[in-house]
Structure 1
Amino acid sequence: MTDRTGELLTEADNPAETSQSEQTRVFWPFFIGTDNPISYLYQQIAPKFDAGEFDITVLASGGDGQLEADNVRTIPAAEFYTWAGRLTLARHAIESYDLLHTGGIPALHYPVALLARLRNPTATHVHTYRIDADPDSDRTPTALRRRLGRRATITTAVSEHTAGTVRSTFGLDPVVIYNAVDTAQFHPDYERTPLLERYGADRPVFVFVGSFERRKHPLDVISVAKQVPEATFLLIGGGGTQDRDELVADRAANVDNAHVVGRVPKDRLPAVYANADGLLFPSTMEGCPNVVLEAFASGTPVVGYNATSMPELVVDGQRGYLADSGDVRGLIDGVRSVIADSTNRLGDNARGYVHRNHTFETVAQQYADVYRTALGD
Structure 2
Amino acid sequence: MKRRGKIIGNICAWCLLCAVALLSVFYAYPALTSEKETKNNERPVVLSLWHIDTFEGGKGSRANFLKNAATAFGKEKRDCVILVSDYTAAGAKAAFESGKYPDLLSFGIGFDADPALFIPFDDLFFSGGTGTKKGKSVAYPWCAGAYAVFSRSGDFSRLSADTVIVSKGGGNLAETACALHLGSVAETIGDEGIFDDGETAAERKSVIAEDSLAAYVDFLNGKKEYLFGTQRDLYRFAARGTEIHAQTVNVYNDLYQYIGVLNCGEATGEEAENQKTARRFGRSFVSYLLAEKVQSTLDKIGMFSLSADIYGADTGAGAMESALQGKNGKKIVWTANVFMSEAARKDTEKFAAEGEIVQLKKFLKSV
Q: TM-score range by the shorter chain?
A: 0.3 to 0.5
Highest CA radius of gyration, 1 or 2? 2
Higher relative contact order (CA 8 A, sep 6+): 2
TM-score under structure 1 length normalisation = 0.37
TM-score under structure 2 length normalisation = 0.38
